[in-house]
Amino acid sequence: MHAFRSSSLHHHHHHHHRRRLLAALGTAACLAAAAPAGQAQGYPNKPVRLVVAYPPGGATDIVARVLAQKLSEQTGQQFIVDNRPGAGGNTGAEWAARSAPDGYTLVLATTAHAISPALFKNLGYKLDKDFAPVSQLTSGPLVIVAHPGLPANDVTELIALAKARPGVLNFASSGNGQSTHLAAELFASMAGVKMAHIPYKGSAPALTDVMGGQAQLMFDTILSAMPQVKAGKLKALAVTSAKRSGAAPELPTVAESGLPGYEAIAWNGLLAPAGTPPEVIARLNAELKKALALPEVKDRFEAQGFAAAWNTPEAFGDFMNAQVKKWAQVVQVSGATLD
């Protein structure tokens, strides 16, 4: 299955693009004479828009702002973060999918974008057909946090508690289909327990309810959860990555503390609309390799609980395909729905 090919040509076969296309063809004919294939050589020569499909202040937005600043410094062109939240990240992705494939509109993908194809029946875009991968950006674990009064202090005790009270234990998430939702569903299906899901609009209101005891636990990013743990308002049980996290090395992994083989990571990556010239993708990938290797960028990300994770467009495409398959299986097994 050769999904995620940068040269993907089967995009934009929507008829409302037809009129715009015809209008553009006239102009394009004149321009083609003036600007041969060298067009992408001068890339970027005007501001570039980085679409973040979430509100300002969240993990993805922070990643975008750190990288936008570095890319601006490196290329001498402004990279501007454009927040377009809604529909669990799908509003921004759909908007970016319909943008011109010229490298001037890019979108930050997250784990949620790999989960959506299995969860939403009528997405307005196809992840593998409408986008070309540029590079992964970050990778990091979630952390299981609980109300301090929950009578479980580690994964083994949590599983025992959930088995003793089937369907009584509930978990909050930052929204249906987000990694915070599906990481918990993966946990429940692997542990053979039933937990009730309470979706919120974002991480902050979900954590507030866990601290208040309205919800009992949450699988959340280290970035938003750990300050509350340090303040004593939540307790942390484990991290969801295969290895311990440098951001919270004292916390065991889920796999080592009661559920072998469990792994769920949250990640970010950069996508361009399908049909973006390969040399534009190559330029972006090279600039990202440089930016993600900078010690100040790595430190900034480490403080947020994730690692810089550059890779090639091909490797990132393969990674996304594997993630889409993994989460589709979780959706199927858990019967997770958008209720």
Do residues 274 and 130 share a domain? Answer: yes
pLDDT digits (tens, 9 = 90+) for 182-231: 999 999 999 999 999 999 988 889 999 999 999 999 999 888 898 899 99
Do residues 155 and 127 share a domain? Answer: no
For residue 125, what are the contacts with CB-CB under 8 A and spacing of at least 6?
A: 90, 93, 94, 97, 98, 131
How confident is the model at residue 39, as a pLDDT? 52
Mean per-residue pLDDT over the chain, rounded: 86
pLDDT digits (tens, 9 = 90+) for 101-143: 999 999 999 998 998 888 887 888 888 889 999 999 999 999 9
Structural domain of residue 228, as residue ranges?
141-239
Least confident of 193-197, 266-270, 288-292, 300-304: 300-304
How confident is the model at residue 3, as a pLDDT? 53
Do residues 200 and 60 share a domain? Answer: no
Do residues 157 and 225 share a domain? Answer: yes
pLDDT digits (tens, 9 = 90+) for 83-93: 988 777 788 88
How confident is the model at residue 12, as a pLDDT? 45
Report the number of distinct structural domains present in the chain. 2
How big is the CA angle at 101 (ends 97 and 103), to the nearest 5 degrees?
A: 110
| For residues 169-182, average pLDDT | 91
Q: Above 60 in pLDDT, residue 249?
A: yes
How confident is the model at residue 59, as a pLDDT? 80
Nearest to 226 by CA among 165, 108, 141: 141
How big is the CA angle at 147 (ends 142 and 148), to the nearest 5 degrees?
A: 115
Domain-located, residue 292 = yes
Distance of alpha carbon 68 from alpha carbon 48, whole angstroms: 9
Nearest to 203 by CA among 178, 235, 186: 178
Domain CATH number, residue 221: 3.40.190.10
Contact indicator for 144, 254 with CB cutoff of 8 Å? yes
Q: Which residue has the tokens 């307005």?
A: 124
> pTM for the whole thing?
0.79
Do residues 108 and 198 share a domain? Answer: no
Contact indicator for 85, 54 with CB cutoff of 8 Å? yes
pLDDT digits (tens, 9 = 90+) for 31-42: 443 444 445 668
- The secondary structure element, H or E, covering residue 55 is none
Interhelix angle for 313-334 vs 278-292, to 10°?
Answer: 80
3-state SS class at 220: strand
Q: Above 80 in pLDDT, residue 165?
A: yes
Do residues 169 and 233 share a domain? Answer: yes
- The secondary structure element, H or E, covering residue 14 is none
pLDDT digits (tens, 9 = 90+) for 301-337: 888 788 899 999 999 999 999 999 999 998 888 777 6
Nearest to 162 by CA among 216, 84, 108: 216
Contact indicator for 101, 276 with CB cutoff of 8 Å? yes
DSSP E strand boundaries for the chain: 48-52, 79-83, 105-110, 131-146, 170-173, 196-199, 217-221, 235-239, 265-273, 307-308
Distance of alpha carbon 190 from alpha carbon 152, whole angstroms: 18
How confident is the model at residue 122, as a pLDDT? 82
| For residues 14-41, average pLDDT | 46
For residue 333, what are the contacts with CB-CB under 8 A and spacing of at least 6?
A: 189
Omega cis (within 30) before 44: yes
**What is the identity of the amino acid at 288?**
L
Domain CATH number, residue 97: 3.40.190.150
pLDDT band at 278 (very low <50, low <70, confident <90, very high): very high
How confident is the model at residue 233, as a pLDDT? 97
